């Protein structure tokens, strides 16, 4: 809920001050894959292949303008899957809210396109649960019927992770007229997922699975979407200098 309130506050701030802002705002869809190595209580516990897909809101400080630096914010909701062995594996996608903060350097700046590259910091929160049926062996001591049989019982795992990643991002903005931009970006980086509250549930009895669980690895990701530009129009630096000189006369 707090995450949603922050996003709404940012949108309201932009809309109420749009006369002074030059900004692009829009929506994106994203996906990615990574490989993680997990350590539980300082010992290796598992390895997983991780996948995610989702989407959300994007805000960019310089989509089409002829300036070197732009700041790009993304905030969204994703489905996240840890696929592997042991209690770390989720079995099915669980939930993640994620934000990314990118500082791009426009190495190609034209009226129709902007190509940029720069560092990215990501912060997120992952949560969910996995329910399944396990079996235990019951030995029959009555000397009638089968000697033993499998007895089912309900079990599960509850997941709560804080996620962080740092990497390199590059992107391409394609400007259509004075108001619309299509974009695509991709990147790679190093990510960490940390949990101090991974819990197991056996027939309603919960217990901590690990005191500390840390997963880290390398991943790749990409996204694409559309933005509406507010007061963000390409104007070469040379033209800006001429305007300043003319205004000072």
What DSSP assignment string belongs to 104-152?
Answer: EEEEEE-SSEEEEEEEEEEEEEEEEEEEEEEEEEEE--SSSS-SEEEEE
Read off the pTM.
0.77
- Chain segment 113-168, per-residue pLDDT in tens: 999 999 999 999 999 887 765 555 555 555 555 555 555 556 667 788 999 999 99
Residue 209 has a pLDDT of: 58
Contact 104, 78 (CB under 8 A): no
CA angle 203, 152, 85 (to 5 degrees): 80
The CATH code for residues 22-127+163-193+211-248 is: 2.40.160
**3-state SS class at 94:** strand
Residue 73 has a pLDDT of: 98
Alpha-carbon distances, residue 206 vs 159, 190, 195, 223 (angstroms): 13, 32, 16, 38
**With the C-alpha atoms ordered 55, 60, 65, 70, is the resulting torsion angle positive or negative?**
negative
- Chain segment 67-104, per-residue pLDDT in tens: 999 999 999 999 999 888 666 777 788 999 999 999 99
- Chain segment 177-195, per-residue pLDDT in tens: 999 999 999 999 999 998 8
């Amino acid at each position: 809920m707090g995450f949603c309130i922050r996003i709404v506050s940012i949108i309201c701030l932009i809309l109420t001050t749009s006369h002074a802002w030059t900004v692009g705002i829009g929506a994106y869809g994203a996906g990615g894959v990574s490989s993680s190595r997990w350590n539980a209580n300082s010992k290796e516990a598992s390895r997983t292949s991780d996948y995610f897909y989702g989407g959300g809101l994007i805000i960019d400080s310089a989509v089409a303008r002829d300036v070197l630096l732009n700041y790009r914010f993304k905030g969204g909701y994703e489905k996240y899957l840890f696929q592997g062995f042991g209690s770390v594996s989720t079995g099915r996608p669980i939930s993640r809210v994620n934000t990314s903060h990118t500082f791009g350097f426009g190495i190609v700046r034209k009226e129709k396109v902007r190509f940029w590259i720069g560092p990215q910091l990501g912060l997120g929160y992952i949560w969910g649960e996995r329910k399944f049926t396990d079996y235990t062996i019951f030995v029959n001591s009555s000397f009638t019927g089968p000697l033993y049989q499998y007895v089912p019982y309900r079990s599960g795992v509850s997941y709560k992770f804080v996620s962080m990643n740092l990497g390199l991002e590059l992107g391409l903005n394609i400007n259509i007229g004075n108001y619309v931009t299509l974009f695509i970006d991709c990147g790679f980086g190093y990510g960490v997922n940390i949990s101090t509250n991974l819990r197991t549930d056996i027939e309603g009895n919960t217990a901590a699975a690990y005191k500390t669980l840390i997963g880290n690895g390398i991943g790749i990701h990409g996204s694409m979407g559309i933005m509406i530009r507010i007061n963000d129009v390409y104007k070469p630096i040379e033209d800006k200098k001429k305007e300043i000189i003319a205004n000072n006369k």
